[in-house]
Copies of this chain bind each other. A is one copy, B any other.
């Protein structure tokens, strides 16, 4: 390789931090505290054990576990031996996990004992199973036929963390999307993309050697938005977390001096609603990046009073997690709370390494920046996946016209900021008018009794479809269907208001996204569906 061209890789970020901050705290889990020297040793040992077990460059290694230290270690060790990490969503059923293991061809499967029931070992042609015990949480045992993690690495050579990589476009990982229909697709990340994204996160979120990052975001979700690499590159501290427990989070933030965490708006909502949050105001404020569904202005305002500075961002598994974030403008600080929350709820502008993002009509023309004309969000460049693993047809479809098609509908504000309005498949078309379900939801959640809401289309003889709101009320709060509808009609065009309201606990994905497709399916059972899921 030419002297001026080294393959970019996120593994180099650990190599550097090991050199610069060997004695700083890398990992905190329960009473366990690892320095970076120790983390590098654990990475080297796992890498050595992987090689000893026959893993060669190009292989895949799967992990089914919560945010335990071994999963962080795997984000470096698997890459170090040239293999790709397949971190699997822990809420998937055995059938889905089985599909992913078979499709990825993982040669080793690491599994948390509590999740072993989601894996059905095949009779033959089996990968090697490793039981990743979690003594900190008291989760032990070997339910799968294979060694414990301690046995797997015992006596293994400890490799250096320096990776000599030939091709920066080799894979770091394959992240399977939880498709709402059809089989999961394996999104391929590269060393180049992961490195650039990690640098971007370090810069934009102000990660440094004094940062303490709390792992509320599942690491299986877009490789934790590349934060395993970003926090490490900054020399900050990873505070591991087995599950999202609001009381535990509220306890850890002051105890470990947490400076940053990431999470879906539902996680923020859980925090705000927790009894332990009463009277709490973090000082200095904690920086939180939130993605998934757009947080409502109501939620953003509540976070401010909790001492949580929310940065809203947006991306997909196909864009290494975040692709845009809501960069605060200086003059926004002087807006009233409602106005401030409104601008902060936008998705924003591209990261520095992710310049290319457009909002386009069906003919791939940019929509006008009028905050009104909806188009599809499309991206290209170094923050976009390499493609879907062994699925050329799906890749070609997603990359039609040389851009990645997000399936998300948004508008562009006159200042260039984008704001999402809906999933392409969620939009409601009522009597020829587009209705953004997100806009309706943001109105519904302003009602004081409402905890959260999801709006979907329901069939209507005259209009084709109309909005229906599914609502979860706050504990002890009460409201009727008529009250909710009347409340919406005060501020929203009447054709946009829900025509029906149903009260229930909302169905969610493992990352806290509301599963609107389940609600829609309920409404449209027996109908020929208008909308093609993907």
Query: A residues within 8 Å of B by Cβ?
Result: 2-6, 8, 12-13, 15-16, 19-22, 24, 169, 190, 192-193, 199, 202-203, 209-210, 233, 327, 329-330, 349-350, 352-353, 355-356, 380-382, 384-387, 399, 402-404, 416
Contacts and interface: CB of A to CB of B under 8 A. Distances in A.
A interface, over-half SS: loop
A6 B355 contact: yes
Nearest to A356: B6
B404 A5 contact: no
A5 B188 CA distance: 13
A406 to B, nearest CB: 13
Nearest to A381: B6
Contact of A209 (B24, B330, B399): B330
A15 B355 contact: yes
Copies of this chain per assembly: 2
Given A3-B399, A16-B352, A210-B330, 20 more contacts: A3-B380, A3-B381, A3-B403, A4-B384, A4-B386, A5-B169, A5-B192, A5-B381, A6-B356, A6-B380, A8-B382, A12-B355, A13-B352, A15-B355, A16-B355, A21-B329, A24-B330, A199-B199, A202-B203, A209-B330
Contacts of A24: 330
Contacts of A403: 3
Nearest to A350: B16
A492 to B, nearest CB: 31
A381 B3 CA distance: 6
A346 to B, nearest CB: 12
A89 to B, nearest CB: 23
A331 to B, nearest CB: 9
A3 B169 CA distance: 13
A428 to B, nearest CB: 30
Contact of A384 (B3, B199, B202, B355): B3
Nearest to A415: B22
Nearest to A400: B3
Given A19-B416, A327-B20, A416-B20, A199 B3 contact: no
Contacts of A330: 24, 209-210
29 contacts: A2-B386, A3-B381, A3-B384, A3-B403, A3-B404, A4-B190, A4-B380, A4-B381, A4-B382, A4-B385, A4-B386, A4-B387, A5-B382, A6-B355, A6-B380, A6-B382, A8-B382, A13-B352, A15-B355, A16-B349, A16-B350, A16-B355, A19-B349, A19-B350, A21-B329, A199-B352, A203-B203, A210-B330, A233-B352
A307 B263 CA distance: 40
A171 B349 CA distance: 28
Nearest to A16: B355
A199 B6 contact: no
Contact of A203 (B21, B199, B387): B199
Given A199-B352, A202-B203, A352-B233, A402 B5 contact: no
